[in-house]
Homo-oligomer: A and B are copies of this chain.
Amino acid sequence: MVGASKPASNALFLEDLQVGQRFSSGFHTIDEAQIKAFAAQFDPQPFHLDGEAAKATLFSGLAASGWHTAAITMKLLVESGGGIIGAGGEISWPKPTRPGDVLAVFSEIEEVTPSRSRPDRGMIRVRSETRNQHSEIVQILVANLVVPRRSDTTLARASSTSSDAVVHAAQG
């Protein structure tokens, strides 16, 4: 339903990255069925499950769970950027995601910090705005990512097959 399960293979290295660099993703169209399916599994509030019930609420209509927007954002980032090791970050949802929205992610590197203790890696801070087809921001994610340096093959391999839940890697 939400497409692409092809693993990303284009690893990023700290040497390739600098403050101000920008990336943009492909697109994902979200529909009512996706919104309801995600909500039934993970955010079972009438709001995300029932267009009629949602009308009487603050949202004035069906809206996606913010975590659904976050998950789609991750998909778009992985598809476009390759291995992503996230340790955490700040997230906010300035506007609801609606059925029919076409989402894309626009990212900018805000910080690049080589690790003081581990020469094989560094951290970057990336701001990713998830926008709809009207260029309205539906999510802002400022994430701290672990990025390997080119010298180290172990981490490089880890990055190309990476994850978003490594903190021991982030404690460099």
A67 touches B2 (CB 8 A): no
Asked if A12 lies at the interface with its beta carbon under 8 angstroms from chain B, I say no
B58 touches A85 (CB 8 A): yes
Known: A56-B157, A83-B45. A164 touches B78 (CB 8 A): no
| A 80-112 to B, binary, CB cutoff 8 A, 1 in contact else 0 | 000111111111111111000000000000000
* Closest beta carbon of chain B to A137's beta carbon, Å: 10
A32-61 residues with Cβ-Cβ distance < 8 A to B are 38-49, 53-54, 56-59
A165 touches B78 (CB 8 A): no
The docked-state distance in angstroms from the alpha carbon of A68 to that of B62 is: 22
A165 touches B97 (CB 8 A): yes
Task: Return chain B residues, CB-CB under 8 Å to A63.
Answer: 163, 165
Which of B66, B75, B84, B87 is in CB contact (< 8 Å) with A41? B75
- Number of this chain's copies in the assembly equals 2
Known: A58-B155, A86-B93. A71 touches B165 (CB 8 A): no
Instruction: Give 13 A-B pairs besides A43-B74, A65-B71, A66-B86 with Cβ atoms closer than 8 angstroms.
Output: A4-B44, A8-B44, A41-B71, A45-B162, A56-B161, A58-B155, A58-B162, A58-B169, A59-B165, A63-B163, A67-B71, A70-B70, A88-B93
Q: Can you list 29 residue pairs at the A/B interface with Cβ under 8 Å?
A: A1-B41, A2-B42, A7-B44, A8-B45, A41-B71, A42-B72, A43-B163, A44-B78, A45-B163, A53-B161, A56-B158, A57-B161, A57-B162, A58-B155, A63-B165, A64-B165, A65-B163, A66-B86, A66-B164, A66-B165, A67-B71, A67-B164, A71-B71, A88-B93, A89-B92, A90-B90, A93-B166, A94-B167, A95-B165
